[in-house]
Amino acid sequence: MATNIHSIQCLRGLAACAVVCFHVSEQFGGPFDVGAAGVDVFFVISGFIMWVTTAGRPADPWRFMSRRITRIVPLYWIVTLLTAAGILLKPQFFYGHVLSVANFVGSLFFLPVLQDNALNPVVIQGWTLCYEMMFYLVFTLVLFLGERWRFGVLVGALTAIVPLHFVLPAGYARAFTDPVVIEFAAGVVVGRLWLQGARLPLGAALAIAGAGFLLLAAGTLFDADLPRALLWGLPAALIVAGAVFAERARPFEPAALPTFLGDASYSIYLWHIVVGVLATGVVLRIGVPAALQPATILVGTLAFSAMLYPIVEKPLITLLHPQRPKAAVKARSAAAPGAAE
């Protein structure tokens, strides 16, 4: 089995860059709302990777959850602390952020305050990590089951909780049963098919991925009240499925930049708001012409957020996840570097 699925790596980088583009576009009143769908691509990828890296291996639920916590939490806490400091120092630059003792503590433990029935942590894009951690919790519980039961129970549980969202009263239970959780299940289904050796002709796989991108591009033509899981989640699932099966039909070696952006995708995603604030301050201070400000802020935000991967995130990974013996590494199931470990 391959040790790396390059298309997943490329999609991670693309999704992170799309989210940054969305927030810069939003800052200047631009039209790139579809960039927010990078989050949905991340959710599908997460389901895919978690299934592919655990299926057919001895189950160790405690190790699985501890590794997910040490992989996700330390950097998130660092960014939360720095964002809170930024809000205290320059609150006018952090529009829409909610900083209180309750929200700070709740954000650290993925139970931030609710606004309009939506999760609103100090690091505003951290709402997605709340759903990631919920998914990891469900996944951990499923690992206690026999292997032949895991797929059905996992997909069934993620699917079954969605109807509860429409009947539960406002609160955390309603927030965490949002239909967006079905996107993790979609990734698990794609991962199972991939592990079972399913194949598609290259043209069919590319057509599926292309259909996903077209649906995203045409999203503005649909009813804006459509659930996110349909509007962006379904296209995201098509993109991920098409990409991995296209790669199976025709393997490739990616260029250095897409590989680096994939590695740095978590750093880009977490850092880009606070880095974007700094970039905006610098751009205004040095007097960049208004017409050039969006592009300058975008490039600066992407570049600096990505560079924080080798400076901050990678040393954290090395510290908390020491390298295993080479034989164990070679035996690892397919996954994008950094995503599964």
Specify which residues 114 forms β-bridges with: 119
The domain total for the chain is 1
Distance between CA atoms of 257 and 210, rounded to whole angstroms?
A: 22
Whether residue 136 lies inside any domain: the answer is: yes
Per-residue pLDDT, 221: 77
Whether residue 1 lies inside any domain: the answer is: no
Contact 71, 142 (CB under 8 A): no
Per-residue pLDDT, 234: 96
Whether residue 339 lies inside any domain: the answer is: no
Secondary structure E strands in 238-317: none
Per-residue pLDDT, 224: 66
Per-residue pLDDT, 117: 86
Per-residue pLDDT, 272: 97
- Helices 265-286 and 293-308: crossing angle, nearest 10°? 140
According to the 3-state scheme, what is the secondary structure of 77-96?
HHHHHHHHHHHHHCHHHCCC
Whether residue 340 lies inside any domain: the answer is: no
Among candidates 209, 171, 160, 197, which has minimal Cα distance to 44? 209
In the block, tokens 């069934």 appear at: 156
Contact 222, 231 (CB under 8 A): yes
Per-residue pLDDT, 324: 59
Q: Is 18 helix (H, G, I), strand (E, B) or coil?
A: helix
Whether residue 99 lies inside any domain: the answer is: yes
Whether residue 13 lies inside any domain: the answer is: yes
Whether residue 335 lies inside any domain: the answer is: no
Per-residue pLDDT, 326: 44
Range of the domain at 212: 6-330
pLDDT averaged over 10-residue windows placed end to end, the chain, 341 residues: 77 97 94 94 98 89 95 97 95 89 97 93 97 97 93 97 93 95 98 96 98 90 80 97 97 93 97 96 93 96 97 94 53 36 39
Whether residue 341 lies inside any domain: the answer is: no
Secondary structure E strands in the chain: 114-115, 118-119
